[in-house]
């Protein structure tokens, strides 16, 4: 992977790890597949629902990352 990929990752993401009992990982992967999501997408959407329920706010930042912006959001520089 390119250096720019790692730079983008470092600037835009926070890695969070957690421990789960043996077998939980396989169940999470199965649940993600059953909903048609990636494992990461499934975990993020599930956690976001819990965070919104608990706090009334999304866990995602209010501003989209540059790569998620559409052409209408990016000004010519």
> What are the residue boundaries of the structural domains of the chain, listed by start?
19-53
Structure tokens at 37: 């999501």
Using CA atoms, how far apart are residues 57 and 53, in angstroms rounded to an integer? 8
SS3 15: coil
Q: Which of 51, 40, 48 is nearest to 15 (CA)?
A: 40
pLDDT in tens, 16-72: 999 999 999 999 999 999 999 999 999 999 999 999 999 999 988 776 666 555 555
pTM: 0.68
């Amino acid at each position: 992977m390119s250096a720019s990929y790692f730079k983008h990752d470092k600037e835009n993401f926070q890695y969070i790890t957690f421990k789960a009992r043996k077998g939980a990982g396989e169940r999470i992967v199965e649940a993600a597949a059953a909903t048609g999501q990636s494992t990461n997408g499934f975990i993020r959407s599930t956690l976001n629902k819990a965070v919104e329920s608990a706090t009334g706010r999304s866990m995602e930042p209010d501003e989209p990352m540059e790569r998620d912006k559409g052409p209408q959001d990016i000004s010519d520089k």
